[in-house]
Amino acid sequence: MKKGQVTLFILLGIIIISIATYLFYIEEQNAEFKPLPPQYYSPLKTHIEQCISSLAYDGLAIMGRQSGFIEVPGEIKNEGAYIHLIGPFILPYWYHNGNDLSPSEALVKEQLQGFIESSLESCINTSRFSYLELEAVGRPRVTVSLNEDDVLVGVDQIIRIRKDQRTASISSFAVSVPVRIRKALRLARYIMADENKNAFLEQATLSFMSADDIPLTGLEFSCRQKQWPSSEVESNLKSILRYSLPKVRFTNTLQVVSNTSHKYLTWNAVKEPLEMSVGLLYQPNWGLDMKARPNGEVLSSAMLTAEGLPLCVNTYHFEYDIVYPVEVVIRDDYDQGYSFRFAFPVLISHNKAERSLRLENSDSACKKMNTEVEITVYDKLTGQPLGEAEVTADCPDGDCLLGKTDDNGRLRARAPACSELVIARSGYMDGRVTQTPTKKEVYLARRITPKLFLEDHLGQTPEATAVMYLTSEGSNAVQLLDTTAENRLEIEVPAEYDLKIYLMRNETLVGGFFSRWSINRTPDRITFRVYDARKIGISGYSNITSFLDMKASAPELMPLLEGEYETS
């Protein structure tokens, strides 16, 4: 064989080997991009979607426990606007210091999206599918839709899968979580809106107090003074609330009154039928702030006696400031079931609902003078401005003197964010106003203590003692009119009173007078006149009271006002 032929064969061999190598390489490359059959990665997709569903359930459960929040806003934490449950767990308020703190639907979606997105990596990096090579490309995009009967969660995330030179990819996941949080939120908003508008729970609390052993206003013919330790009153109120609040029933919910022997309060807050149950809860360890006026460790009645007569009258009238938290529990038995809780404070000031009451979290309120107020004070009788009137902020942790009005009756000052301002001036009844709005006009009624006298319908001094009961919008007073002694009584002018006088002889009713009485001047003596039933020929309690009702507001027996009261 010639040398040239050998060289040719060598070149041909090299070419053949190169071609074979190239073809093998191409075959290998083509084998790497062969599609991976679905049966290999379908379980992975199912697993990831189940994991997303579980994350969504976890986030919704946290929201159900925390008033719709996963991350509680700093505003709520800083202001103490929550119920402290146990350990680090809190239940945020939806309303505090006049502000709506409830989460919007957009915030609920945003927080749930963030919660799922932050934990999504755990759904992908799992040892359960170690036989697959997994690579997540880019950042996931989570979307949440709150529907009437479910929560839809979508996740856009490219995941590349490789096994034995075969590949596949998944780019989107979608799950439906059968939790009706949108309906629960709507029901909760109905309750919160109605409470802020109509103060249902404040009115209910005052009704509970009236029906149970909480002293409010009373009159008893007894020579034994009544007393109530303030601590016991507070403890009793806590027990009353714990027992009574769960008995409130809501219209348009699944609650029904199953036991008609119990009395239930019905709250017409929910404006559409919703297939959920609602309950109210209060626990004594959540606390209750109570301030009673007249203040003191012991609440006591005022006892009046008539010298020489076996007749005593115990009278009392207490005004309460009360603040306590209430938890609302919404239960939905749809599918696997869901509970949603939120809270808000019940706010009572001077025995009246005061939804604008402002609560301080910590430190003395007098160190936080951050609200501009302008008060103008007038004489209610003459309409003239009143100078030298002291204005004080009545705060839960103390009173803050803001200053005195000038000759034009005006005071501009900075005040803490408390519920009420108290206006006081010598010779006048105290006035109280809320701080909202911050520019106020206040009219003070005059305070007089005239001499009181008693005569019967014939103009004679009766041989009996009268018990007079005066009730107005701002005050209640009881006075014994003893014809053998000087009588005086603090009276507000101008004012309208319900006047009831009972003429008593040895604890027996012998006459009286009932009337609606308006007083628009400041006399220094008032003669009250009564019917003496003995001189008319009427006897017996029912006969006398029927006669007094029939003769109510008789012009000839209206009180006689004389002189002009001089303020000291």
Tens of pLDDT, residue by residue over 232-252, are 999 999 999 999 999 999 999
* Model pTM above 0.85: no
CA distance 173 to 152: 11
CA angle 481, 487, 493 (to 5 degrees): 100
pLDDT of amino acid 225: 80
- In sequence order, what are the residues at sequence separation of 6 or more whose Cβ sits closer than 8 angstroms to the Cβ of residue 521? 381, 493, 561, 564
pLDDT > 90? residue 42: no
Whose tokens are 């929910």? That residue is 270
What value does the mean pLDDT take over residues 5-10? 63
Q: Residue 558 in 3-state DSSP?
A: coil
Q: Given pLDDT bands bounded at 50, 70 and 90, which one contains residue 4?
A: low
3-state DSSP helix/strand/coil % of the chain, to nearest 5? 25, 40, 35
pLDDT of amino acid 362: 42
Tens of pLDDT, residue by residue over 219-233, are 777 777 888 898 899
pLDDT > 50? residue 439: yes
Strands (E) across 221-358 are located at 227-229, 249-250, 266-267, 277-281, 289-293, 298-300, 302-305, 312-317, 319-332, 338-349, 352-353
Mean pLDDT highest for which of 15-24, 262-271, 353-362?
Answer: 262-271
Share of the chain above pLDDT 90, in %: 50
pLDDT > 70? residue 21: no
- In sequence order, what are the residues at sequence separation of 6 or more whose Cβ sits closer than 8 angstroms to the Cβ of residue 554? 513, 515
Interstrand relation of 431-434 and 34-35 (parallel, antiparallel or unpaired): unpaired
pLDDT of amino acid 24: 53
In this predicted structure, which of 10-24, 56-70, 148-162, 462-476 has the lowest mean pLDDT?
10-24
Average pLDDT score over the chain: 85
199: left (phi over 0), alpha (psi -120 to 50) or beta: left
pLDDT > 50? residue 282: yes
pLDDT > 90? residue 415: no
Query: Hey, what are 490's tokens?
Result: 């603090």
Q: Residue 375 in 3-state DSSP?
A: strand
CA distance 242 to 94: 21
Contact criterion met (CB below 8 Å) for 486 and 462: no
Tens of pLDDT, residue by residue over 301-315, are 877 765 555 567 778
H/E element holding 503?
strand 495-505
Interstrand relation of 439-444 and 371-379 (parallel, antiparallel or unpaired): parallel
Contact criterion met (CB below 8 Å) for 299 and 236: no
Q: Given pLDDT bands bounded at 50, 70 and 90, which one contains residue 363?
A: very low
**CB-based burial of residue 169 (10 Å sphere; 0-12 exposed, 13-18 middle, 19+ buried)?**
middle
pLDDT > 50? residue 207: yes
Query: Hey, what are 412's tokens?
Result: 């501009």
**Between 232 and 168, residue with greater pLDDT:** 232
CA distance 155 to 140: 7
CA distance 183 to 334: 11
Tens of pLDDT, residue by residue over 100-121, are 999 999 999 999 999 999 988 8
pLDDT > 70? residue 204: yes
pLDDT > 70? residue 28: no
Contact criterion met (CB below 8 Å) for 294 and 318: yes
Is the preceding peptide bond at 555 cis, omega within 30 degrees of 0?
no
One-character DSSP codes across 136-165:
EEEEEEEEEEE-SS-EEEEEEEEEEEEETT
Is the preceding peptide bond at 294 cis, omega within 30 degrees of 0?
yes
In this predicted structure, which of 177-181, 402-406, 486-490, 516-520 has the lowest mean pLDDT?
486-490
Question: How crowded is the C-beta side of 198, counted as CA atoms within 13 Å?
Answer: 11
Query: What CA–CA distances, in Å, run from 385 to 407, 437, 466?
Result: 7, 20, 39
What value does the mean pLDDT take over residues 317-339? 92
Q: Residue 539 in 3-state DSSP?
A: coil
The CB-based long-range contact list for 386-389 (8 Å cut-off, 24+ gap) reads 386/425, 386/428, 386/444, 388/425, 388/426, 389/423, 389/424, 389/425, 389/428, 389/444
pLDDT of amino acid 480: 75
pLDDT of amino acid 23: 54
Residue type, 201: L
